[in-house]
Each structure stands twice: as C-alpha cells, then as structure tokens.
Amino acid sequence: MITQLTHFVAKDPAAAARLFEVFEGLAATVPTEPGNISYAIFGVDGRAGEFRIAESWASLEDADRHGRRVIEDGLGEIVLPLLTHELLTENLTPIAPATQSEGITVKDSK
C-alpha cells in the first residue's frame, strides 16, 4: 500500500473555487479506479485556499496509473495555472500499525 499527500495553494479566491470544482469531480471518479483504497480532500485550517488531497493505493503501480490518468484527462493543464507553486506530492510511509488508534507517544526528554 502507498499513501500520497498532495499540497495545493490557490493563487486567489477564484482559483480556490475552481480547484474545489476539480476536486469534487475527482472525488466522484477516483474511488472507482483500480487499486484505490481511499481518497480524501482537506482544507487547511486558518489558510483559505490551501488544500491537501490524501489518497491511498494498493500499489505504487496503481498510484502511477492514477497520475497518468489525471495528466491524460488534462487536469494538470487546468490545475497548475491556479496554484502559487509547483505541485508537491509526498509518498508517506506508515511508522505504526494502521489499527493502532492512539498513534505514537513521544516522551519529553527533559
């Protein structure tokens, strides 16, 4: 399994509204793609126009297939001009079992 987190910062309120429209369309189709485990869109608290998409795939190949589909559908040409920066996607690696609801506790070394 691979989880990816993609960062988006819209240039202005109109760009943010257009990004949200694109995200809504993706939210309707991505869950039906082969290997998709989850797909979620988040706004960043206190920062209007900032979004994150978290998506999990059964394999890197599935994630890559999705990325190619997004490009082939022309979404990159729509989204990139709306952003203040290059698109940033990070591959996340779990460091604790997914079933562990408490997460990880880090003790203060003082």
Note the pLDDT tens digit of each residue in 12-46: 999 999 999 999 999 999 999 999 999 999 999 99
Domain ranges of the chain: 2-92
For residue 2, name the pLDDT band (cuts at 50, 70, 90): very high
> Around Cβ 102, how many Cβ atoms within 10 Å?
6
What's the pLDDT score for residue 100? 52
Structure tokens at 94: 């779990």
Q: 83: how many CB neighbours lie within 10 A of its CB? A: 17
Q: What average pLDDT is seen over the chain?
A: 88
Closest CA to 56 of 30, 80, 22, 74: 30
Please report, to the nearest 10 degrees, the dihedral formed by the alpha carbons of residues 15, 18, 24, 25 taken in order: -130
Q: What is the mean pLDDT of residues 35-59?
A: 94
pLDDT in tens, 87-101: 899 999 888 776 555
The neighbour count for residue 47, using CB atoms within 10 Å, is 9
Strand order in the sheet with 50-57: 36-43, 50-57, 2-9, 88-92
| Residue 87, pLDDT score | 87
User: Which CATH fold would you assign to the domain 2-92?
Assistant: Alpha-Beta Plaits (3.30.70)
Task: Output the pTM of the full model.
Answer: 0.80
